[in-house]
Structure 1
Amino acid sequence: MTSYPMHTVNTAPAEAKTPLAVLRDTFGFVPAGAALMANSPALLNSFFSAFGHFRGGGTFSPAERQVLLLSNAVANASEWATAFHTLEALADGVAPDVVEAIRRRERPGDPRLAALSGLTTAFVEKRGHLDETDVKAFTAAGFSDGRLFEVVTGVAISAMTNYTANVARPPLEPAVEPHAWTAGPVAGG
């Protein structure tokens, strides 16, 4: 359990109240990652803005977006984010077998989703230093070069929530608890 303050709309600094209210109204609760990020309004507002552009102006479908975000959470060994994005992926129509494959650190059977998950994981594991094989697998699955850069947005916003959750280790919300996940040993750590 975290020792860091987990803010509500009422307890958050003034600059963090609006994003928390929007998230609460969207999910029916303030996600723990956001409740923690509210300790730094700069972090929460940066995340909120970037995610708004990623979701509202991005070209990935809701299911593709969740495959990307869940793959990031697993690659970052973020237990809270993996559980949260499992809930969201299933709600956005990602097939349960795809979700379970990603949670096991495997590629989904669907070639397009496997390419998206693989590229996302490569970004995290290689710290952005992709090789030609990574890029070719992604574009061969029908994704454009421009969408490769859209993956950067997903990786960046995931880093904000994943790292926050990894530092603070928040409890899972009741809606997220059924999707609990354990990272196991983390490479390099």
Structure 2
Amino acid sequence: MTDFPIHTIDTAPGHAKQPLASLHEAFGFIPGAAGVMANSAPLMSSFFSAFGHFRGEGTFTGAERQVVLLSNAVTNNCAWAVAFHTLEALADGVPPAEVAAIRQRELPADPRFAALSALSRALIERRGRLDEADLAGFRAAGFDRDQVLEVVTGVAISTMTNYAANVADLPLEEPLREHAWEPKH
């Protein structure tokens, strides 16, 4: 465990104040991973930019984005991010049974959600070395070639937050506690 401060808007270095304020506005609280990432200007800037593009310019619905991010959190064994993205997935309309499946390392029943989850997991587990079956399954669910790269963006965002949360061994904020999850080591 490390002892990184979990910054608030008041305690954050100058480079992190505006991103933290924006995240507070978006989520109603400052996610702990963002509070930790605020300790590093390159990490905070990279995350905030990528997150903004993924959320604002991407082709996935909010629910689809959360399926990617929750799948990544589970695959990366990040308890904090699993709790956070469980909260967000439910808020963005992912049915509870689909969220439960992902949390249990299973594929959701919905074909589009299953394709997103499977591709995301494959990217992480095989370090981006997809095979034709991975891509065929993704396309069969109605996604196009370019959306594979959008999933890569989601994996990059998750790598930043999941690793920062794991390094800092973040406690769960009050809104996340009901979604606690135990990682598999």
Number of aligned residue pairs: 185
Distance (whole Å) between structure 2 residues aligned to residue 32 and residue 85 of structure 1: 13
The CA deviation at 1:57 is 0.3
Question: SS in structure 2 opposite 1:175?
Answer: helix
The CA deviation at 1:4 is 1.2
How high is the TM-score relative to the length of structure 2? 0.98
The CA deviation at 1:2 is 5.4
- What stretches of structure 2 of length at least 5 have no aligned partner? none
| Residue 48 of structure 1 pairs with residue 48 of structure 2 | yes
The CA deviation at 1:41 is 1.7
How high is the TM-score relative to the length of structure 1? 0.96
Call closer, same or farther: CA 1:4–1:12 in 2, change over 3 Å.
same
Q: 2:37 aligns to what?
A: 37
The CA deviation at 1:184 is 2.1
- What stretches of structure 1 of length at least 5 have no aligned partner? none
Contact 1:16 1:44 in 2 (8 A): yes
Contact 1:8 1:30 in 2 (8 A): yes
Contact 1:2 1:171 in 2 (8 A): no
Distance (whole Å) between structure 1 residues aligned to residue 37 and residue 171 of structure 2: 14
Question: SS in structure 1 opposite 2:23?
Answer: helix
Call closer, same or farther: CA 1:2–1:83 in 2, change over 3 Å.
farther
Deviations 1:138-168 (A, max 9, x none): 0111100010111010000110000001111
Question: SS in structure 2 opposite 1:176?
Answer: helix
Distance (whole Å) between structure 1 residues aligned to residue 89 and residue 31 of structure 2: 15
Moved over 2 A (4+): none
Distance (whole Å) between structure 1 residues aligned to residue 61 and residue 2 of structure 2: 33
Q: How does 1:1-189 map to 2 (within 5 A)?
A: 3-185=3-185
Letter in 2 for 1:85: H
Letter in 2 for 1:50: A
Distance (whole Å) between structure 2 residues aligned to residue 79 and residue 127 of structure 1: 21
Contact 1:74 1:102 in 2 (8 A): yes
Identical-residue share of aligned pairs (%): 63
Letter in 2 for 1:75: T
Distance (whole Å) between structure 1 residues aligned to residue 58 and residue 130 of structure 2: 22
Contact 1:2 1:170 in 2 (8 A): no
Question: SS in structure 2 opposite 1:149?
Answer: helix
